[in-house]
Chain A
């Protein structure tokens, strides 16, 4: 687009620009269509009649709409129970993580005591530990504690979340000292400062972290798979996988419908709270 070009060249560059714009649109929207295809297949299959599901040609449009698979799942599986289990587990984990992560982040940033820097360094270093290295020993510890097949056996091992501490430390650092100074002079205890000043100020950071932990727990797979051993205790991800094994044959209708039931709650949360989730992800990218 240099200003010294002739009018002919101007024309050319404009078409260049136009071509480029068209290419960008085609590329982006083409990719978006490809990304949406699996969703379309999942939702469509869950509403299709058996004839359509088993026809020779794979269908993407449910010409014959039925709720058969939903009824089938609700009467022949514990999927409603699994949903409740998942909700409880994700809720409890989120609460525990927020409380203990906020407490230690406050202690590391707002209280002045020897050793806190070392502790923070150790927490940051523990990022580098891939969870899978601890799979076997944590399983042994959990079974020694008698927590196999219990909610706490799933919650506690994921409760000490270094990522959460790290994210909150970045935020707690930026609280102005003056607020606390004033409260201290008024004789507030540190606990009261924490609950009445720090936590309310940090609401949005805690919400972003909470949302992130909730989604992460809702979807957790490896650990619940090991710990939850009775069908009534399963979470959705574990239940879904066992459904396939229990039926012997692959029933796309059943599998896709269970996938819809497991993902719709989170997709709704996602659409409603996308901004917070983007923030939670950005927090991780910028902090490391």
Chain B
């Protein structure tokens, strides 16, 4: 480092010895960043551009060089593609079934476990545990529970849920809620523990009801984590793939084919890469719009 350079290289004369030390600093900075940047360039940023490029072409999977530029045709076809629209509505239906229940459920459980109850550690462990399961286990386990000889049809009824037009998506939603509640539960539990007890003590002295304390203290104080949880759950549910892929394979009669499942099949069964890339970009736009809307709607810009 501070070898016999022309100027003494002391830590606090930053402005003076720009030449040597800043060049070295730049070199070090770049070399420490380069491994990440190369991999990110190759597998994150590069593909994003490639996806855009592909979506504007009639992509030839066998010989990419022969792909024909078709401008926005893929997007036009997509907008009049009934399968795309039903996949989109199926996804929206899934989002409606899962997001409110996951958010409200994880909030209630977090508030409950935060109270002075016995067996806190046990409860936290139980609600958090599905987080470490793979979607393969979740899908297979619940597919079995909902199948004709499974627990739910026997005790609740409804026959085999997974082959029923009306019950297949709710079955997938129930499995998803059980699996995805964990992450939000932990986030909200931490957020609730960060709310100062003083606020509640003051409110108690004023004789505020539990309901009022929740409305005027708990929720406003936890606003940012709540927004985070809503957006993460939204974005996650919009990209659901594994559960319908494993449990129903998109059936019966397309009723559980979600956007990502449709994208996957378009690309790897239909080999229509350009079209699949367009589906991906449309999904991307939808997700940005959804995130921005919920951020704005939930007042994320005011603290």
Q: Do the two shown chains form a genuine complex with each other?
A: yes
User: A residues near B, CB below 8 A?
Assistant: 1-2, 20, 24-25, 27-29, 31-32, 35-39, 41-42, 45, 54, 57-58, 60, 99-101, 103-104, 106-108, 111-114, 116, 119, 122-123, 126, 128-141, 156-160, 162, 165, 181, 184-185, 187-190, 194, 215, 218-222, 226, 236-238, 240-241, 244, 250, 252, 255-256, 258-259, 262-263, 266-267, 269-271, 274, 277-278, 281-282, 284-286, 288
Q: How many A-B residue pairs have CB under 8 A?
A: 275
Task: From known contacts A107-B32, A137-B277, infer whether A278 and B128 are also in contact, taking CB-CB under 8 Å.
Answer: yes
Taken together as a complex, chains A and B put the C-alpha atoms of A266 and B131 apart, in Å, by 10
Scoring B residues 185 to 221 as 1 if CB is less than 8 Å from chain A, else 0, what string do you get?
0110011000000000000100100100000000000
Task: From known contacts A108-B33, A160-B43, A222-B241, infer whether A130 and B287 are also in contact, taking CB-CB under 8 Å.
Answer: yes
A251 to chain B, nearest CB (A): 10
Task: From known contacts A28-B123, A188-B1, A236-B134, infer whether A134 and B44 are also in contact, taking CB-CB under 8 Å.
Answer: yes
Contact (Cβ within 8 A) B64 A285: no
Q: Among B11, B48, B242, B273, point to the contact of A221 (Cβ < 8 A).
A: B242
- SS of B interface (majority): helix
Scoring B residues 113 to 145 as 1 if CB is less than 8 Å from chain A, else 0, what string do you get?
101010100110111111111111101111011
Taken together as a complex, chains A and B put the C-alpha atoms of A195 and B110 apart, in Å, by 39
Asked whether B147 is an interface residue with its Cβ less than 8 Å from the other chain, the reply is yes
Taken together as a complex, chains A and B put the C-alpha atoms of A54 and B149 apart, in Å, by 8
Taken together as a complex, chains A and B put the C-alpha atoms of A255 and B50 apart, in Å, by 39
With an 8 Å Cβ cutoff, the count of chain B residues facing the other chain is: 93
Q: Which of A2, A57, A123, A134 has the most CB of B within 10 A?
A: A134
Taken together as a complex, chains A and B put the C-alpha atoms of A51 and B145 apart, in Å, by 18
Report the nearest A residue to B134, measured CB to CB. A219
Q: Among B2, B43, B133, B204, point to the contact of A157 (Cβ < 8 A).
A: B43
Contact (Cβ within 8 A) A104 B36: yes
User: B residues near A, CB below 8 A?
Assistant: 1-2, 11, 22, 25-26, 28-30, 32-33, 35-37, 39-40, 42-48, 50-51, 54, 64, 108-109, 112-113, 115, 117, 119, 122-123, 125-137, 139-142, 144-145, 147, 149-151, 154-155, 178, 183, 186-187, 190-191, 204, 207, 210, 225, 228-229, 235, 239, 241-242, 246, 260, 263-264, 267-268, 273, 276-277, 280-281, 283-284, 287-288, 291
Taken together as a complex, chains A and B put the C-alpha atoms of A184 and B239 apart, in Å, by 48
Q: Which residues of A contact B280 (CB under 8 A)?
A: 132-136
A-B contact pairs, 13 of them (CB 8 A): A24-B112, A113-B28, A135-B267, A136-B263, A136-B276, A136-B280, A184-B2, A188-B1, A236-B134, A237-B134, A263-B133, A270-B129, A277-B132
- SS of A interface (majority): helix
B19 to chain A, nearest CB (A): 14
Q: Among B35, B48, B131, B273, point to the contact of A133 (Cβ < 8 A).
A: B48
Contact (Cβ within 8 A) B142 A27: no
Q: Among A1, A39, A133, A244, point to the contact of B204 (Cβ < 8 A).
A: A1
